[in-house]
Chain A
Amino acid sequence: MWARAVWLGRRSWMGWRRGFTSKGDPQVKTGAGRAGGEAAQETERVPPMTPSPASSAQGSGRVTAEVIEHLERLALVDFGSQEAVARLEKAIAFADRLRAVDTDGVEPMESVLEDRCLYLRSDNVVEGNCVEELLQNAHRVVEEYFVAPPGNISLSKQDEQKPFSHTD
């Protein structure tokens, strides 16, 4: 719990700093697709936006800072600039046109393949044993392992908890 409190504290501090820096330096490069590492967070700068808690951006085309922040964390993508946010808002507005279609009384589809047969494979081993090829794709490798940064999203060191094996 304590750890979470620290994290929240840090997050709000980051938010404040973001607001501050973007005032002084509005010209920020967009780092599209940057992974959320510590370095990325340090340079992450989003212009302050009206933080209206009611994120009823539906139809209005406006996306609040809170929603952006939530999306950034979920997607591990740094929106990075007003321009990226504007692009997102445009995409939402584009998709919102679907709401114009009257779907009352129409049963939703599971998928466009819902009438197709789900093919069943026999339980035979026909793949695998290609570790060399797979690891060619890896940024860093130790022995035959992929190497990932510790933890999930880079949070401050004191936030790091003991390792636990992950299953869900």
Chain B
Amino acid sequence: MAAPMLRGCCLGRHWALACIDGGSRHGRGAATGFTSSGKRGQSFVAQQPHITAQKSRKGEHKWEAVVGLEIHAQIASNSKLFSGSQVHFAAPPNSLVSFFDASLPGTLPVLNRRCVEAAVMTGLALNCHINKKSLFDRKHYFYADLPAGYQITQQRLPIAVNGSLAYSVCVGKRWRQVITKTVRIKQIQLEQDSGKSLHDELRSQTLIDLNRAGVGLLEVVLEPDLSCGEEATTAVRELQLILQALGTSQANMAEGQLRVDANISVHHPGEPLGVRTEVKNLNSARFLARAIDYEIQRQINELENGCEILNETRSFDYKLGCTVPMRDKEGKQDYRFMPEPNLPPLLLYDTASLPAGADPQQVINIDQIREQLPELPSETREKLIQQYGMLPEHSFALLNEVGLLEFFQNVIKETRAEPKKVTSWVLNIFLGFLKQQNLAVNESPVTPSALAELLNLLDRKVISSSAAKQVFEELWRGKGKTPSQIVSERKLELMQDAEALERVCHAVMEGHPQVVMDMKRGNPRAINKLIGLVRKATHSRADPTVIKEILEKQLSS
């Protein structure tokens, strides 16, 4: 196995619980050309062979991959980080641009309180130390979509440092074993986003839209504690869920609200770290995993063929499925960091240090934000496991799909069915139908109350579980009928009349004396045949367990 070289991470078949953009089905209609969520699983599995292909030839040298991520999350705010222009996706070009965003002379940055609070809240949720004093710096580079020629960021003293992010992967047979891993967070810094460039190669020009220029970003820098694409994807997915739970970022990768750069190197265990490359602009969870695994394998191949790894920036070509070197913009980058002269240090307070008589609009109290922290995904999952006796992997699955948890909770509220039954129906049947048609939870034709009513019918044994599936299919077609109406119209009720059922059983036994003989001779499978015959005779309206009881009673009498 070549997999062991990746610290066992890609060993065998295991599935990331926080699986690969399962939820957002953000592919639809997006320019990045994703496939439907149904295909996603396949391609994810399909990438495995190229990792394992390495093994047989070079078994003696084990390689270890080291992956660190820089994640840019767009802050969910009404206005930009330093200006009062609106933050909105897909607005007409240059309509959301102030004079400051276009860097007209004489304009000055004015810090958005909301962005600072979002950074503090994210830092707290990721177990960071919040710096009570942080500083803004200018990072210079020339690019047409960065009109000032520099980006305001926090290089020397960022707002939050030394945190951690826990994420879980499922391993083992049937992915029943959940392993929680932790990646350290180096820092979180506030910074400006750049504008967007549209390259028109035909006319050899670049069109610039500054709507995104100056939008607040949280740059989350992870320590290189990851070792493969799947770990990276799972960690990013968990971060995405946390940001969404906090409301600090919508973190929708398809809209570029979450963008990832990966630093990757390989080395032999026990030896110094290898030369690293940086793969930029990974804008989908699936490509993130593929790009990282490709790059790890590429580096191993290069080194085993006696080549050197260049410290370079690469990008992932999602059509070719490989990473390609990006031309460095100016050869060696020289960002010429300097303190931002127009912004004094950003000071934060806690309840103890809050100055008396301070204007509440002008001070940010870390303790107050800590109190406002909502329930985090890990806590929600723990609650589900405690409250409903749910399997951990099911708790992950429920949180992984936007709106699915809420749907589940609404069903639970209205039904008397066992939570396990509800979980199974929501995750297998309901989610299966959604995936098949590539729908989001809020686009479902079946409402939580309809499913709750259906599960009640099942629970009261009014219908069999196979009839329940028929009813569900009918509900999915969305003719506006209730489950009870469908059951009575299509005569799907289980036979409640015990005497009638006994008569049917008796008739079946009389009609098949050979099978009855088999059974009396001790063939245990013969009874199943009889049960099947009775069900057929009743048009599947009889409960198999009841049939079995009657048959056994009649045989023994």
- Where the two chains meet, the residues of A that have a C-beta atom closer than 8 Å to any C-beta of B are 1, 3-4, 7, 70, 73-74, 76, 110-131, 134-135, 137, 140, 142-153, 159, 161, 163-168
Contacts and interface: CB of A to CB of B under 8 A. Distances in A.
B290 interface: no
Contacts of A128: 84-86, 95-98, 101
Given A116-B344, A166-B145, A148 B84 contact: no
Contact of A118 (B196, B341, B345): B345
A164 B280 contact: yes
Nearest to B341: A111
Interface stretch (B205-213, B439-447, B486-494, B528-536): B205-213
A117 B344 contact: yes
B199 interface: yes
Nearest to B94: A131
B215 to A, nearest CB: 11
A148 B143 CA distance: 10
Contact of A166 (B143, B336, B340, B341): B143
Q: Is the interface of B mostly helix, strand, loop or mixed?
A: loop
B336 A74 contact: yes
A125 B77 CA distance: 10
Contact of A127 (B72, B85, B93, B208): B85
Contacts of B95: 128-129, 131, 144
A57 B114 CA distance: 46
Interface in B159-196: 193-194, 196
B31 to A, nearest CB: 10
A126 B331 CA distance: 40
A1 B97 CA distance: 37
A12 to B, nearest CB: 13
Given A127-B84, A163-B201, A145 B93 contact: yes
A147 B93 CA distance: 12
Nearest to A144: B93
Closest 6 CB pairs of A and B: A163-B199, A128-B85, A148-B144, A123-B114, A127-B98, A126-B84
A164 B281 contact: yes
Nearest to A146: B208
Given A128-B97, A146-B208, A118 B197 contact: no
B198 interface: yes
Nearest to A152: B329
Contact of A143 (B86, B93, B143, B145): B93
Interface string B123-155: 000000000000100011111110000010000
B111 interface: yes
A76, A116, A143, A168: residue with the most chain B Cβ atoms closer than 10 Å? A168
Contact of A147 (B77, B84, B206, B342): B206
Given A148-B197, A149-B206, A125 B334 contact: no
Contacts of B197: 148, 163, 165-166
Interface string B86-104: 1000001111111111101
Contacts of A76: 142
Given A110-B344, A152-B143, A167 B98 contact: no
B110 A147 contact: no
A83 to B, nearest CB: 25
Contacts of A119: 110-111, 362
Contacts of A147: 205-208
B330 A153 contact: yes
Given A123-B77, A145-B209, A146-B207, A167 B326 contact: no
A103 to B, nearest CB: 16
B361 interface: yes
Contact of B259 (A73, A110, A116, A167): A167
B405 interface: no
B413 interface: no
A142 B330 contact: no
B269 to A, nearest CB: 29
B343 interface: yes
Contacts of B406: none
A146 B210 contact: yes
Interface string B327-365: 111110010100111111111000000000000011010
A152 B330 contact: yes
A93 B204 CA distance: 43
B218 to A, nearest CB: 13
A168 B310 CA distance: 20
A129 B196 CA distance: 17
Contacts of B139: 168
A4 B200 CA distance: 23
A117 B65 CA distance: 46
Contacts of A152: 142-144, 329-330
Contacts of B77: 123
Given A110-B135, A123-B79, A144-B94, A161 B102 contact: no
Given A114-B344, A131-B95, 4 more contacts: A121-B84, A128-B101, A145-B93, A165-B196
A168 B205 CA distance: 21
A111 to B, nearest CB: 5
A116 B108 CA distance: 15
A92 B40 CA distance: 59
A142 B469 CA distance: 56
A91 to B, nearest CB: 17
A7 B331 CA distance: 9
19 contacts: A4-B328, A111-B339, A114-B345, A118-B345, A118-B347, A119-B111, A123-B79, A124-B79, A125-B84, A127-B83, A128-B101, A131-B93, A135-B94, A145-B198, A147-B205, A152-B329, A164-B280, A164-B326, A165-B197
